[in-house]
Structure 1
Amino acid sequence: MPYQSVDLSDLSNDNQKSEASGNSQDILLMGNSYVGANSLHNLVDGVMSAASDPANVSALSGGGMRLSQHATNVGTAGHQWNTTLNNGNWDWVVLQDQSQVPGFPRSQNEWITSKDGAVELAEVIEDNGGETVLMMTWGRRDGDSNNAWRFPDFSTMQDELESGYLDY
């Protein structure tokens, strides 16, 4: 399943459904504390408004959540993630993984289950008429002391995260 890189301010140029209906776009952000603690849905809403392209932006987030956990929630009947995704008319669903996992080795279980979660989510999103966007997170300024073997500094961590998101 192919993913795409999208400048959020260009979403309206690529979305035929919203253009045809003349309605604002519906955007759902699914992530962890990077989404929730930073009120990213409000920031995206502000960017879209500033671009004179109104949007309804919502978020589902939880600290440290991985894409596999989002997929489990979406697959659980009655769960807030399930009802929000399946009962909405989302033009775009932006997925953000836990901040280190995409940079892990491709053979590591955490990476594999997150990649599988991304694929599962993308299938549900597509089945509901939306498009999936992966939001790549950023490396930490000093790398990651808990995973220094993999992320000794910012540049290495950023390169590994980018590569991991592209491999999803």
Structure 2
Amino acid sequence: MSFHFLRTKDLTCTRRSVTDSPPSSPSPTDKSFRHDRLSRFDSSGGNASYRLGRTSSYLRRETWFGSLNNQDQDTTSKDYKMMYAEALQENEHLKSRLQDSKQELVNIRFQLDKLAQDKEALEKRVSGMEEEMKVLTELKTDNQRLKDENGALIRVISKLSK
């Protein structure tokens, strides 16, 4: 950084920065100085060499983070591969269990249908037996009535034969 020495009224020298000095008309040496200074700056006003150093350090840092990221990605990709393999294995296991359950469900439905048919057959048989019981009770009552009539006829015949 350049400094200008200014003299005050009491003839003492004070040191001031170029940026602290008020704007004045440029002298030929100031023009070349500004030109040198501006040539070191890029169009955005920043120092080009500083920016390059900052960019390269940025790139180094990004590369380092990227390598860490790659290691993490390798680890995570291995983890994902392992998790994927485990998930596939579990899916196959669950599919086989599902297939077994479906087969068992088919067997149970078959047995249920068979039991339903047996129940219907038994209900028909029971209703048939109930009809037979009605007929048998009617026959018993008819048989009892006939026995009573037969006994009455036997008594009438025995009175007539005396």
TM-score w.r.t. length of structure 2: 0.14
Q: Structure 1 or 2: larger strand share?
A: 1
Larger relative contact order, structure 1 or 2 (CA cutoff 8 Å, min sep 6): 1
TM-score w.r.t. length of structure 1: 0.14
Q: Structure 1 or 2: larger helix share?
A: 2
